[in-house]
Structure 1
Amino acid sequence: MAVAVLSAAVFLSLCAGSLAFPTGARQIQRPSCGYEACHDTKAGVLNVHLVPHTHDDVGWLKTVDQYYYGARNEIQHAGVQYILDSVVRQLLSDPTKRFIYVEIAFFSRWWQQQSEDMRSAVQQLVNQGRLEFINGGWSMNDEATTHYSAIIDQMSLGLRFLNDTFGECGRPRVAWHIDPFGHSREQASLFAQMGFDGFFFGRLDYQDKRSRLQSREMEMLWRASANLKPPAGDLFTGVLPNGYNPPDGFCWDQSCSDTPIMDDKTMEDYNVDNIVQRFNETAHAQASHYRTNHIIMTMGSDFQYENANLWYKNLDKLIHHVNLQTSETNVHALYSTPSCYLKELHNTNISWSMKYDDFFPYADNAHNFWTGYFTSRPALKRYERISNNFLQVCSQLEVLGGKVSRDGPYGKADSDTLKRAMAVAQHHDAVSGTEKQHVADDYARRLSQGWDQCEILVANAMSALTGSQGPVVFCENLNISVCPTSESSQKFSVTLYNPLARRVSWPVRLPVNGSQFSVTDSSGQPVDNEVVPVSNATRALRRDRGYSVNELVFLSSLPELGLSTYTVSRMAQNNNRATRAQQSKRDTAMSIHNEFFRVNFDPQTGLLSEIQSLDRKRTLPIKQNFYWYKASRGNSESSQTSGAYIFRPNSSEPIPVSTTAQTYTVQNALVQEVYQNFSSWCSQVVRLYRAQNLLELEWTVGPIPVGDGLGKEIITRFDTPLKTAGLFYTDSNGREILERRRNFRPTWTLKQTEPVAGNYYPVNSRIYIKDSDTQLTLLTDRSMGGSSIQDGSVELMLHRRLLLDDFRGVGEPLSEPGDYYDGLVVRGRLLVFLSPPEAAAELHRPRAQQEYLQPQILLQPGGAKQEFSAVLSALPLNVHLLTLAQWDADAVLLRLEHQFEKKESSTYSLPATVDLQKVFSRFSIEGLRELTLGANQWRDEMSRLAWRTSGGWSRPESWSPDPEDPPTLVTLQPMEIRTFLLKIRLH
């Protein structure tokens, strides 16, 4: 059938309110927002852009609710609802005043509580540019521990609210990450692809900042992608001079103690002359480090403007008295916004330097590296990761199941609860692990509530797709071998939904109490299976939460974007049927193998000693063990301690948990495993599945003992003879790979003061080392910190338990209680790949997506025979279905991405073309139009500012669909993401 590329007017009539001025808001007058709303500046003088703002953490010392309502002020005095109330009153009283707001999680709540008259008044403020939204995400997300998929989703959630509520004047032009603790290259690339003109932040390494101040390079053009055709990933970037605080002496919030402006000359304390003089001196000093006659001053800080009158009354006086002397001082002050400041920088038409790397790691002093939070709260980091996995499953099935998914046999449900919880979890004091314990508990609670809703939705959708309406069980504790249905049922069905648009093989492990089972697939054919004993480590970990003695193992084969059902029946008991655990004897060589690898263990120590790649005929000697860094309590060099933010070991050489491991092995036709016990709190399973070209390491760490009074930071380290020349490689938010060099920064000369912490980088999905012949790649199941401290070595920090606070505001040590309040136990997986460097990406890139979007497992009593796929054919290996989500009743949001970089693969780094009309079987496409990445602007209407650099202009090209191509034909270049709004009809 023909597919229409719809005009904006026609498409918006089909998808009402999606990208148009909101029909529910009353337009007061013609909008003059954005760059048109800026106050005039003065030529030939120093223009000081005063930016009134508040930074409202979406949880940190208090929960989101406590911050909004102003509860628990004994912890921190902060009430966001009062800030917005107070600021709006001030803005309505004076058209010259300006204010910016960022955190849409808070603003959307406030908006819902306002009267229609207040909403109309705020709409007018937005239309006139007096209230401007900056950044626009649901939260101000962290940049180190967040995955690009979750970043895109949380930004899109906030941007859509602004678009639906305020129309074009609600669209932010500037990204604003003033508080995250370091900045990733991928984050800047995503902002550029969302259509932002500029990006401002507050934190960068103290040595980097010192260098930039001296060279007057606090502002630059950031080429944030090595793959996208410039300037698609280019973004003007500026470093704010005072973090995000006011200059010293100019803070007039109720939380501040600076002297107000006293302008009555009859008063003994009249201070206007002194304050104006100090302000002018401050402005000229700041301007000496910047390149234009425009500078920016942030007038606000954490949770300020609860009584906005204090700020604005003093700012009014400051502007008035400073500008009375402009002819003598050459300083002109004005109310402004980041976008107005950016506009003036753009108008100067000067050439800017280029930035190609990222801003990690961040340190605020010689011994204060903020690299601990890369790993802090590893259980929350894992919960966030699998919650995003479940959210994508939930969103896809909401589309594929149709209306029944939201109101079906299992009840009414929505995906919005989990979307909002995930968006909050991206906040830079959430998944980062830098919040108080009770706030971390609240983040987990919100995610759990989102799961509850999505479980109903998924069950409804499965019913619509399969016709089954029996009880549905979500086994959420399979990682500790707990699932009451599989443990007790004689017969049950296992349905697996695959959210990837390509077929996958997935090992299924279910806790059972029988020793012999029959497993059949959806066509009734028998499936090979094995029964293995539950390990002692798992029994100890689950305590009284389950009673299975065995695990049933079988390999599933799952259709593209579809589901398959397996029927499991317990057979007559045969106690000899279960694979027995074989205890190894010291001095006896041990190995496991499958078609791809043989893994050998040292007979003296029980440690992994060698990996042989059988298909590629190469052998890598490798020693893997667990170690711990002793957390610093401060010393003669610095009083800095290790804490939730800061990683500071008191020695560069970690201490082994043990130099030997007690081992036993379980081997059968499907899986071969070696169980290693290093201590009462540290163990590991080394595992090879049949037909899988990777090695799985399932580690369990905790409760970390601290009875000796020492905080501990637990790592696993792999030592090899690879000649790595100080180089190693980490991903940036799960996408592009960055080369790291030990004790080196690409854009400034590093004086290394912390040889371990100063070389740690965020690892969101993978880290690897290589030489000319061999690459060793580790895939992680959550974000963590990692490094290569010595050539041929790579390490990952798995868990942390500390006894002291690190003085960055959280006010408590990072010592999580765990389920039983004796300390947190964490279990996770590392996937190990061994390959030639030129073939590595073809292995780890698709597998990384498979780990991030694992199949969803549902159990039902009884048997079933079902198989379903929502696609006509699999997507190419280099194309990933990033987003399939309901937009409104008739439209869905679709994102496709090219998941390979340039030159990574001779086959898969080429452009990829997909005809959308030939992809989906569940629905047909009746209309489509392409959007920007943030889904708040049509791509062919996006217009970004051009910037001059030393290499020429970074000038965005206008874009329009090729009229010769069919409307549904999509071509993707390496690392490109394309976003579409589709009008669909379910079959």
Structure 2
Amino acid sequence: MISVLLKMAAAAITAAAVLLLLCGAVVGFPTGQAPRSSSDCGYKSCPATQPAMLNVHLVPHTHDDVGWLKTVDQYYYGERNDIQHAGVQYILDSVVQQLQEDPARRFIYVETAFFFRWWRQQGVRTRQAVTQLVNEGRLEFVNGGWCMSDEATTHYSAVIDQMTLGLRFLNDTFGACGRPRVAWHIDPFGHAREHASMFAQMGYDGFFFGRLDYQDKKKRMVEKDMEMLWRASESLAPPDDPNLEDYNLDTMVKKFLKTANDQAALYRTNHIIMTMGSDFQYENANLWYKNMDKLIRYVNAQQSQGSKVNVLYSTPSCYLQELHRANLTWSVKTDDFFPYADNAHDFWTGYFTSRPALKRYERISNSLLQVCNQLEVLGGLISRRGPHGDGDSETLRRAMAVAQHHDAVSGTEKQHVANDYAKRLAIGSAHCQVLVSNALSKLSGSDAPRVYCENLNISVCPLTESGHKFSVTVYNPLSRSVSWAVRLPVNGTQYNVTDPSGREVDCQVLPVSQSTQDVRRDRGYARNQLVFQAEAPPLGFRTYSVSLLPSRPPQPPPRPGTPLYLQNKFLKVTFDPDTGLLSSLSNLETKQTVQLKQNFYWYNASVGNKESSQPSGAYIFRPNSSTPVVISLTAKTQTLQNSVVQEVWQQFGPWVSQVVRLYQDSRELELEWTVGPVPVHDGFGKEVISRLDTSINSSGLFYTDSNGREVLERRRDFRPTWVLKQTEPIAGNYYPVNSRVYIKDAEQQLTVVTDRSQGGSSIRDGSLEIMLHRRLLVDDYRGVAEPLSEPGEYKDGLVVRGRLLLALTTPAAAADTHRPLAEAQVLQPLVSLQAGDLPHNTLLEFSGLQAALPPAVHLLTVSQWDRDSVLLRLEHQFQIKESQTYSQPVTVNLKKLFSTLEVVGVSEMSLAANQWKDEMTRMDWKGNTGEKPLRQGQGDPSAWEVTLKPMEIRTFLLLMHPR
């Protein structure tokens, strides 16, 4: 199991942090570009402590949000100080100057996104001074990712990417001394087990965080259980990990001594940590250090009067080292730290859903980035500078890294900052689209311009709306073949679609629904949609030709009324003819049927009451009643049925509609929901849910994924590590759903796969609810200072559209199918279009793999590292004992992986790709700073065989040559 030792905050602490002891970080320079250093850094640079005294580790730090109340640029340059006084460039200027004044002073820095920008603006002399500070361990990087990521609403693949981006810069710039030894998440609003697991696999020795539930904290303080071992995976082999915490000091010596001793009473060693800093502090570092110097001097002077308190400048890793030296046995935690509440009625579970459109855009952008990375490798050097201009993956990589910040994808930022995040993703996407076009031109042999229609979900695409002939290329980023429903807005009534071999593909033309027309307004004019099923090979593309046929009569409009059922060879779904609502779902293969009623509701958002003044807001979910308001007891329905797809259009009211959709060969039922603009003229903020009530006997249990990977069991009104006093029966039972949630009994399991991170729960047995949208009238007093009421493009309120996929199986069968189903929603095919006829010699089908990978294996990363090497991550995507079929070790031969590229060298790395795997140790650094050459296979088959155990991710640097 991946284990982490945690230390959490005491009552007197205002800026707490948690620390994980992980598998062990290792010295090494995977790129060979980092400078050598003869100086001692890391644990060797830690100051001496006093074994017979209480050692108070002062940790000077700043917490610099990568966007929140101001944009990233505004925070860096110090603009818009009318919103918040903060200028990161001045913080770094000031800290570096003050560190040079006294060799005893220390400072830690976290967010590489800001440091990277500052570093590029510095001259040689400043860079040399900073490098010396790093080599001496006086400026220490902690965490080291591009940002301090959110833990509830992020997907693990994007977190790994943003950590890799930041850590690579530190590694290349400072070498081993720049490599963080601890992860530092003092601000995210609850903590995911998968994050702890990832940090362990990245080689961190500890993970510091700052927020845990107030009831959990109180119990741990009483029991002196503020440090713990966090076993963050049921499948992976164990390492140890500790936790840390901080609080601000009083400048008065007497009060400081009392505070230090009070805090020490809650912990098990003679070491405590106090963080000296907060958001955007140290712009005037002289003020901070001058006062801390006095504090240290005058407090330590009390030792001559018998005081047993020793104060010193320190860092989180130095504090961690002292915990390790104590050689104690720690308690073990195996669950996570959700949901987080800081008071009886203050549950931070609203942000699981806040800004749902941004959450979806981030997920789409992640998929595009993986496609971009893959095609940059497969297409070669021409991908960056080719027939379609200059493209790059780096712009989107950095935009995606910024979007992982805990006030970005979380939805807890001001509106103008959310707009800035979206703008960055859009700019990055445009750069990637050029790269993708160049790569596809190289691979296919066609330089014809490509179009990427980004509003297909609302039937907008000028090329297909007006084109009589065009081609559709579907690129699949997965390592297995996929079937994907292509839906294109058109104005014709009949089309011919052919695959690469010239065979006709069954296609149908459907009218565009009134709901879609209402959403898109004047952005498109297509009357119809062309729908067909496309097949795409692993890590490759297939191109289809589409031609408009001579005009035929318009397609018949959808039939009014509700059908008794929709059915294909796998599923049957029935409807209540009186209400128009779903009534049952059947799996025809397993002969299972569940009663299933689905409807939309909204919780009335509290604005405060006599129990508590706490309202619902961007962070906090607090309904004023446990009973949601049903939007409508009935739905107006229309029905479409053809050889490709069957649809029931449901209208629940002027601002809520849904399409119940069953494709011909699908084992999942699709619910495409549209919500908004959420009306608030009645004076009520609304938190809108889709609720599914079933006949499954779930016995108070439901299951959610952690950052898209391992699944955790949730029990209603229960916490595994303390006796819960439930004060908010709805909000206190909400959990983050990154990709899937399910309920089950002995025979049946209903899984819901989402297309973005959302909040979800099972408030009563047999029921699942997913929060879709939130529009609120007041701020929740957590700093944003504006209500969560997104204006939308037309300034009358945001409209959001999304999909839920429903799968009904036995619990055993669900393990084999639902994880790959969720993965396919995260990494969706990319559709590009070209007008007219393609040249006759165009390659219409291509796969970058020699063969599909085994079902248990996911190709997590294929990314260009430098000119000749490629970063590869292979992942076993099943947990131990999860699947009778796939929860077994599986072996992949790297030599037989790629179809057009030959692997000639390989070396394994840590998960974040900043250490050599075979050098990773725990708390025992060897100081090796030399370049490690890629291992040559030399004809030994075992050199290329990679075996993956359940839930294992293995990271490799490959030396590649074209075949």
| Pairing partner for 2:566 from 592, 597, 617 | 592
Alignment-derived partner of residue 587 in structure 2 = 613
Which stretches of structure 1, 4 residues or longer, exceed 4 Å deviation after superposition? 960-965
Are 2:406 and 1:393 equivalent residues in the alignment?
Answer: no
Are 2:269 and 1:295 equivalent residues in the alignment?
Answer: no
| Pairing partner for 1:869 from 847, 867, 875 | 847
Deviations 1:360-418 (A, max 9, x none): 00001000000000000000000000000000000000001101000000111110000
| Pairing partner for 1:711 from 648, 661, 685 | 685
Figure out how many residues of one structure are paired with residues of the other and give that number.
921
Where do 1:744-893 residues align within 5 Å? 744-864=718-838, 866-893=844-871
- Which blocks of at least 5 consecutive residues in structure 2 are unaligned? 1-27, 925-934
CA distance in 2, matches of 1:460, 1:18: 29
Where do 1:597-746 residues align within 5 Å? 597-746=571-720
Please state how far the C-alpha of 1:965 moved relative to its aligned partner: 5.8
Please state how far the C-alpha of 1:944 moved relative to its aligned partner: 1.5
Where do 1:8-407 residues align within 5 Å? 18-20=30-32, 22=34, 30-231=38-239, 234-238=240-244, 240-242=245-247, 246-247=248-249, 249-250=250-251, 275-327=252-304, 328-407=306-385
**3-state SS in 2 of match to 1:926:** strand
Please state how far the C-alpha of 1:566 moved relative to its aligned partner: 0.1
Deviations 1:521-576 (A, max 9, x none): 01111111111110000011000111111101111111111000000000011115
The letter for the 2-side match of 1:730 is T
Please state how far the C-alpha of 1:31 moved relative to its aligned partner: 2.0
**3-state SS in 1 of match to 2:797:** coil
Are 2:508 and 1:530 equivalent residues in the alignment?
Answer: yes
**3-state SS in 1 of match to 2:906:** strand
CA distance in 2, matches of 1:658, 1:398: 49
Are 2:412 and 1:431 equivalent residues in the alignment?
Answer: no
CA distance in 1, matches of 2:872, 2:358: 29
Deviations 1:228-283 (A, max 9, x none): 1223xx53233x153xxx14x34xxxxxxxxxxxxxxxxxxxxxxxx211111000
Alignment-derived partner of residue 953 in structure 2 = 977
**3-state SS in 1 of match to 2:133:** helix
Where do 1:894-933 residues align within 5 Å? 894-933=872-911
**3-state SS in 2 of match to 1:380:** helix
The letter for the 2-side match of 1:405 is S
Please state how far the C-alpha of 1:579 moved relative to its aligned partner: 5.3
CA contact (8 A) 2:471 2:836 kept: yes
Alignment-derived partner of residue 22 in structure 2 = none
Please state how far the C-alpha of 1:613 moved relative to its aligned partner: 1.1
The letter for the 2-side match of 1:236 is P
Alignment-derived partner of residue 967 in structure 1 = 943
Please state how far the C-alpha of 1:48 moved relative to its aligned partner: 0.1
CA contact (8 A) 1:241 1:286 kept: no
Where do 1:547-562 residues align within 5 Å? 547-562=525-540
The letter for the 2-side match of 1:967 is A
Alignment-derived partner of residue 255 in structure 1 = none
TM-score normalized with structure 1 length: 0.92
Please state how far the C-alpha of 1:463 moved relative to its aligned partner: 0.5
- Measured at CA, do residues 979 and 147 of structure 1 come closer, stay the same or move farther in structure 2, by a change above 3 Å? same
**3-state SS in 1 of match to 2:211:** coil
CA distance in 2, matches of 1:407, 1:590: 56
CA contact (8 A) 2:542 2:846 kept: yes
The letter for the 2-side match of 1:822 is D
Where do 1:460-479 residues align within 5 Å? 460-479=438-457
The letter for the 2-side match of 1:972 is L
CA distance in 2, matches of 1:906, 1:847: 18
CA contact (8 A) 2:29 2:915 kept: no
**3-state SS in 2 of match to 1:93:** coil
CA distance in 2, matches of 1:343, 1:526: 67
CA distance in 2, matches of 1:21, 1:541: 51
CA distance in 2, matches of 1:326, 1:847: 64
Please state how far the C-alpha of 1:217 moved relative to its aligned partner: 1.0
CA contact (8 A) 1:413 1:454 kept: yes
**3-state SS in 2 of match to 1:237:** coil
CA contact (8 A) 1:463 1:469 kept: yes
Deviations 1:139-179 (A, max 9, x none): 00000000000000000000000000000000000000000
CA distance in 1, matches of 2:592, 2:665: 18
Please state how far the C-alpha of 1:801 moved relative to its aligned partner: 0.1
**3-state SS in 1 of match to 2:902:** strand
Please state how far the C-alpha of 1:18 moved relative to its aligned partner: 4.5
CA distance in 2, matches of 1:922, 1:212: 56
| Pairing partner for 2:394 from 406, 416, 428 | 416
- Measured at CA, do residues 351 and 796 of structure 1 come closer, stay the same or move farther in structure 2, by a change above 3 Å? same
**3-state SS in 2 of match to 1:236:** coil
CA distance in 2, matches of 1:868, 1:563: 5
CA contact (8 A) 2:904 2:937 kept: no
CA distance in 1, matches of 2:962, 2:609: 66
TM-score normalized with structure 2 length: 0.94
Alignment-derived partner of residue 480 in structure 1 = 458
Please state how far the C-alpha of 1:751 moved relative to its aligned partner: 0.4
The letter for the 2-side match of 1:316 is D
CA distance in 2, matches of 1:922, 1:834: 40
| Pairing partner for 2:546 from 568, 579, 600 | 568
- How many percent identity over aligned positions? 66
CA RMSD across the alignment: 1.5
The letter for the 2-side match of 1:667 is Q
CA distance in 1, matches of 2:365, 2:612: 39
The letter for the 2-side match of 1:71 is E
Deviations 1:611-659 (A, max 9, x none): 1111111111111000000000100000000000000000001000101
Please state how far the C-alpha of 1:580 moved relative to its aligned partner: 3.5
CA distance in 2, matches of 1:637, 1:141: 33
- Which blocks of at least 5 consecutive residues in structure 1 are unaligned? 1-15, 251-274, 947-959
CA distance in 2, matches of 1:904, 1:573: 53
CA distance in 1, matches of 2:884, 2:241: 30
CA distance in 1, matches of 2:850, 2:326: 54
CA contact (8 A) 1:19 1:937 kept: no
**3-state SS in 1 of match to 2:343:** coil
Please state how far the C-alpha of 1:907 moved relative to its aligned partner: 1.0
CA distance in 1, matches of 2:467, 2:241: 57
CA distance in 1, matches of 2:849, 2:210: 45
CA contact (8 A) 2:149 2:404 kept: yes
**3-state SS in 2 of match to 1:842:** helix
CA contact (8 A) 2:904 2:936 kept: no
Alignment-derived partner of residue 272 in structure 1 = none
Please state how far the C-alpha of 1:962 moved relative to its aligned partner: 12
